[in-house]
Structure 1
């Protein structure tokens, strides 16, 4: 069933507001991000922002979801399954870091989540959205790394990889690039070790 005019307009408004939020984050930083500033950049009212997102934490959650939507459609981000294990692992780690987890907006988003942790309604919303995002990332990882599906601890392996990337993303503002790069190399090797199955063992 095709979306009606109201649904299309609502989707367009959300996208416009999210693009404005990303513009504020990238040009001025998290400290300048506010419902008012997003509304100003989008040339809309603060009421429109609050209607679609409710709070700064909810807005940041949707910013990350919006960025992951873009990656979901970016064929270059996900390595083809026919590449070697090393090529796929190196490519995924590099792309994940450069396009998402290593970006300042990632740590900014988590700052907003932590600030909202005392709000049970917002916490529940963030958990729900993060679960949805993790499920999508897991599906795409299984497409690029089909060997993972054969592993008994497949979900634990995927979650471990994503947790490592999140942790490095939070560490990035306080660590040198050399320290981060060394850990990314270890993560790539770890992913490769997860891909070893009875059929791929020498």
Structure 2
């Protein structure tokens, strides 16, 4: 079914707003990004932002969704399964940290999530959206790390790896610079610990 002109314009507007939000998150570092700033950066009104995104948390959720989708499409992000396990593990944790979890925009987005934790509808939406993202990431992890993604605890292991990365991302602004590389190394070692699962 072909899209109407209105649908196309609506999607283009959403993309402009997401681009503006990403740009602000990049330039402001760990600082807060307001709906009014996003509107101004996109050359629109705050009402236009609220028409497309019901809240700041909804906007930030779409930003994170877009970033993760971009990672899924990036050919150099996911290590191929034929690489040695240590190389795969080191590559994954470094790429995940440098491109997403260690970036200031990650903490900016999560601050909006946390601010919305008393909004039951928004929390339900975030849970649903994150469930879809986690399932998608699990599929890619299974391709890169088949050793870890087997058995009844496979989903929990992937969630544990992602939770570790998220946690590091959230505490990084309050941690010594040397803390994160050491923790990333531990996470890589965890991924490597499943090398003999099939034997």
TM over 0.5: yes
Normalising by the smaller structure, the TM-score range is over 0.9
SS of equivalent residue, structure 2 residue 167: helix
Q: Structure 2 matches for 1:27-176, cutoff 5 A?
A: 27-29=27-29, 31-176=31-176
Which residue is 1:181 aligned to?
181
SS of equivalent residue, structure 1 residue 25: helix
How far apart are the structure 1 equivalents of 2:39 and 2:94?
Answer: 34
Q: Provide structure 1 residue ranges, at least 5 long, that are not aligned to the other structure.
A: none
SS of equivalent residue, structure 1 residue 147: coil
Equivalent residue pairs, number: 199
Deviation at 1:2, TM superposition (A): 4.6
Answer whether contact 1:145 1:195 (CA < 8 A) is retained.
no
Listed one character per residue, the Cα deviations across residues 64-118 of structure 1 (whole Å, up to 9, x for unaligned) are 1111111111010111111111111100000000011001111121211111111
SS of equivalent residue, structure 2 residue 99: helix
Which residue is 1:11 aligned to?
11
Deviation at 1:31, TM superposition (A): 4.0
Answer whether contact 1:151 1:197 (CA < 8 A) is retained.
no
How far apart are the structure 2 equivalents of 1:195 and 1:140?
Answer: 18
Moved over 6 A (4+): none
Deviation at 1:29, TM superposition (A): 4.0
Which of the two has greater helix per residue?
1
Answer whether contact 1:24 1:32 (CA < 8 A) is retained.
no
Q: Provide structure 2 residue ranges, at least 5 long, that are not aligned to the other structure.
A: none
Query: What is the RMSD computed on CA atoms of the aligned residues?
Result: 1.6
TM-score for both structures, normalised by structure 2: 0.93
Deviation at 1:30, TM superposition (A): 5.4
TM-score for both structures, normalised by structure 1: 0.92
Listed one character per residue, the Cα deviations across residues 18-75 of structure 1 (whole Å, up to 9, x for unaligned) are 1100111111245451111111111122222111111111111111111111111101
